[in-house]
Amino acid sequence: MHNAGICATVAITVCNILATGQNVIREAPTTITFYSGGSLMKTALPETKSATFSGCIFDDQKLLGCITFRGFITVSVSPGKHTFSASLSSHHPAKNSQLEMTMEPGKNYYVRAVEEKYYFRHVLGSAQGRLDVVSCQVAHEETKDSGEMTENNEKTWQRKPVPTEVPPCAVAP
């Protein structure tokens, strides 16, 4: 008799959830990997569109993490629209390097961050980040000796000393 009461309670709860339109099926997590791309050789040039990025990644106003040469971060995000930015500051997102994406449930996304430098744009020159969506294969090729970035006790970001891999590419069914 006790088990029948539990089963009836569970059935009523499930019916109530379905009647109110609540989703009982959990969506698969969506991940996005940001990595520092660009050419180390071009970083020293006064004007380039593909210097190595060293800065922080934001999702709207939320800091996701910071990356430097040969570093990456992988984060889970909710499906839907997002506005990411590659900022040279750890305090605020950049308005001049935004990437809008609509994330689908269960997918993995890969984004290369590079730094663009402009020598004659202002008197002293300027720099900004740029985000490029790339395929999983390109991300793996460009991050062969990369390491995941972690935050330490002093609230600074550093690359793990041992190379690690970005998340694997999805296997086609």
Per residue in 9-37, pLDDT (tens digit) is 444 544 455 555 555 456 677 999 999 98
What is the average per-residue pLDDT within 104-110? 93
Secondary structure (DSSP) of 133-161? EE-HHHHHHHTTT-EEEEE-TTS-EEE-S
> Which of 37-51, 84-98, 153-167 shows the lowest per-residue confidence on average (mean pLDDT)?
37-51
pLDDT score, position 8? 47
CA distances from 75 to 29, 44, 53, 116, 127 (A): 10, 30, 18, 24, 26
pLDDT above 60 (res 6): no
- As a whole number, the mean pLDDT across the chain is 76
pLDDT score, position 56? 92
Per residue in 110-158, pLDDT (tens digit) is 999 988 876 665 545 577 888 999 999 999 998 888 888 887 766 677 6
Cβ-based neighbour number of residue 98 at 10 Å = 17
Amino acid identity at 66: C
What is the pLDDT confidence band of residue 53, given thresholds at 50, 70 and 90?
A: confident
Query: Is pTM beyond 0.85 here?
Result: no
DSSP 94: -
- Better-predicted residue by pLDDT, 67 or 93: 67
